[in-house]
C-alpha cells in the first residue's frame, strides 16, 4: 500500500488487544479509552471489517471485559507480547486479505506496540487511534506512540478513523456510523 492511500474499510481489520479484567482498572484514562474502543468495534462490525481480539495470559489477568467479550467471542490466549503470537491471528489476517490493521487496547507500550511492530515488519499498514489505546502511565503511552509513528504507524483518532473507513458520506452505512459518533459526543 502507498503510505498516502486512505485506510478505508476495504482491506482493513480491527484488532482489540487485551482488554482484560485485571489490567483495565490500572489504565490511565480507561473510561475514554474503553468508550472509543467500543465505538470502533461497533463501527467495524457495521462495516463488515474483521474484528479480532486477544487475551494476554487470561489465567492470571482475567477474561476480556464486557461488552467486548460478548461482541468478540473468539479471543485466543497468548503469552507473547505481540498478538500475532496468539493462535490463528496471523493466519486470519492473511486468509481475509487484510492490508491494514487498526489497533485498540492495552497496554500501548507493551502489547499494542509490539503488535504494531510485528505487523509493520510483515508489511501491513498499521493505524493507532490515540484515544483508544492506553497504559498505566501517560509517559509510557506517549513514548510508544512517538516511537510507532517514527517507524511508520499511522497515528489518528477514533473519529477520524471511522470517517476514513467510510470514505464518503454517500456510503450506505454513513448514517449508522454518524449515529455512533453522535452518541459518543453526547456521552
- Grid cell, residue 91, equals 493466519
Cα 136 to Cα 94: distance, rounded to the nearest angstrom: 32
Q: Catalytic residue at 18?
A: yes
Name the active-site residue from 31, 111, 140, 182: 111
Q: Catalytic residue at 91?
A: no
Q: Which residues of 105-143 are buried (b: 16+ CB within 10 A; e: fewer)?
A: bbbbbbbbbbbbbbbbeeebbbbbbbbbbbbbeeebbee
Name the active-site residue from 18, 22, 131, 182: 18
Name the active-site residue from 30, 78, 140, 168: 78
Q: Catalytic residue at 111?
A: yes
Please give the radius of gyration of the chain, using alpha carbons only, rounded to the nearest integer.
15
Q: Are 3 and 123 in contact (CB under 8 A)?
A: no
DSSP H or E run through 156: strand 154-156
Active site residues: 18, 78, 111
Amino acid at each position: 500500500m502507498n503510505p498516502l492511500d486512505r485506510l478505508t474499510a476495504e482491506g482493513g481489520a480491527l484488532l482489540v488487544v487485551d482488554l482484560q479484567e485485571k489490567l483495565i482498572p490500572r489504565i490511565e484514562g480507561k473510561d475514554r479509552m474503553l468508550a472509543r474502543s467500543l465505538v470502533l468495534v461497533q463501527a467495524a462490525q457495521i462495516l463488515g471489517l474483521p474484528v479480532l481480539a486477544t487475551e494476554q495470559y487470561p489465567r492470571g489477568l482475567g477474561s476480556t471485559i464486557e461488552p467486548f467479550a460478548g461482541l468478540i467471542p473468539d479471543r485466543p490466549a497468548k503469552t507473547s507480547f505481540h498478538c500475532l503470537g496468539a493462535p490463528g491471528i496471523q493466519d486470519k489476517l492473511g486468509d481475509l486479505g487484510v492490508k491494514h490493521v487498526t489497533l485498540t487496547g492495552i497496554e500501548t507500550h507493551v502489547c499494542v506496540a509490539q503488535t504494531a511492530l510485528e505487523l509493520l515488519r510483515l508489511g501491513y499498514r498499521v493505524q493507532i487511534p490515540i484515544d483508544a489505546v492506553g497504559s498505566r502511565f501517560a509517559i509510557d503511552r506517549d513514548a510508544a506512540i512517538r516511537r510507532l509513528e517514527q517507524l511508520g504507524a499511522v497515528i489518528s483518532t477514533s473519529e477520524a478513523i471511522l470517517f476514513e473507513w467510510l470514505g464518503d458520506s454517500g456510503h450506505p452505512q454513513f448514517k449508522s456510523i454518524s449515529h455512533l459518533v453522535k452518541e459518543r459526543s453526547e456521552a
